[in-house]
A and B are shown apart, each in its own frame.
Chain A
Amino acid sequence: MANRSAANLDTTQRGDELESVADASGRPVWRLVWDVFRMNRPALISLGLLTFMIAFCFIGPLFYHTDQVQTNIAQANLPPSRAHLLGTDEVGYDELGRLMAGGQSAMEIGFAAAVIATFLGALWGGAAGYFGGMLDSVLMRIVDALLAIPALFFLLFLASFITPTLPILILVVACISWLVPSRLIRGEALTLRVREYVQAVKCMGGRGGRVVFRHILPNSIGVIVVNATFQVADAILLVASLSFLGLGIPPPEANWGSMLSAGLNYIYAGYWWLIYPPGIAIVLTVTSINFVGDAVRDALEVRLQSR
Chain B
Amino acid sequence: MISYLVRRAGQAVVVVFLVTVVVFILTHLLPGGPARAILGPKATAQEVNLFIQENGWNRPLAVQYWDYVDKLLHGNLGYSYKYNQTVDALLGQYLPKSMLLVGLSLVLSALISVPLGLFQAVRRNKIDEHVLTGLSFVFYSMPVFWAGFLLIDIFAVRLAWLPPEGPQGASWISVLSDPKALILPVITLTLVTVAAFSRYMRSAVLENLIQDYVRTARAKGAGRQRLLWRHVLRNSLGPTVTLIGLSLPWTLSGALVVEEVFNYPGLGLLYWNAAVTRDYSILVSLALVTGVATVVGSLLADVLYAMLDPRVRYT
Report A's interface with B, CB cutoff 8 A: 41-42, 141-142, 144-154, 156-157, 159-161, 233, 237, 240-241, 244-247, 257, 260-261, 264, 267-268, 275, 279, 282-283, 286-287, 290-291, 303-304, 306
Query: For residue A46, which residue of chain B has the nearest CB?
Result: B137
Does B21 sit at the interface, judged by CB under 8 A? yes
- Chain B nearest Cβ from A275, distance in angstroms: 8
Query: For residue A147, which residue of chain B has the nearest CB?
Result: B249
Contact between B283 and A240 (Cβ–Cβ < 8 Å)?
A: no
Query: For residue B260, which residue of chain A has the nearest CB?
Result: A245
Query: For residue A272, which residue of chain B has the nearest CB?
Result: B153
Residues in A neighbouring B278, C-beta threshold 8 A: 160-161
Query: For residue A257, which residue of chain B has the nearest CB?
Result: B143
| Residue in B206, B246, B257 whose beta carbon sits within 8 Å of that of A152 in the complex | B257
A-B interface, 9 closest residue pairs, ranked by CB to CB distance from nearest: A145-B18, A286-B141, A152-B253, A150-B249, A148-B291, A148-B294, A156-B275, A287-B141, A150-B252
Does B108 sit at the interface, judged by CB under 8 A? no
Contact between A241 and B143 (Cβ–Cβ < 8 Å)?
A: yes
Distance between Cα atoms of A166 and B308 in the complex (Å) = 46
Does B114 sit at the interface, judged by CB under 8 A? no
Contact between A279 and B143 (Cβ–Cβ < 8 Å)?
A: yes
Q: Is the interface of B mostly helix, strand, loop or mixed?
A: helix
Distance between Cα atoms of A159 and B30 in the complex (Å) = 11
**How many residues on the B side are at the interface (Cβ–Cβ under 8 A)?**
55
The contact string, 1 if C-beta is below 8 Å from chain A, for chain B 273-315, is 0011010100110110011101100000000000000000000
Q: Is the interface of A mostly helix, strand, loop or mixed?
A: helix
Distance between Cα atoms of A261 and B261 in the complex (Å) = 11
- Chain B nearest Cβ from A77, distance in angstroms: 18
| Residue in B18, B23, B145, B146 whose beta carbon sits within 8 Å of that of A141 in the complex | B18
- Chain B nearest Cβ from A206, distance in angstroms: 29
| Residue in A149, A159, A279, A303 whose beta carbon sits within 8 Å of that of B275 in the complex | A159
Does B256 sit at the interface, judged by CB under 8 A? yes
Contact between B137 and A291 (Cβ–Cβ < 8 Å)?
A: yes
Tell whether A160 pairs with B141 under 8 Å between CB atoms, given A42-B134, A141-B11, A149-B19.
Answer: no
Contact between A245 and B257 (Cβ–Cβ < 8 Å)?
A: yes
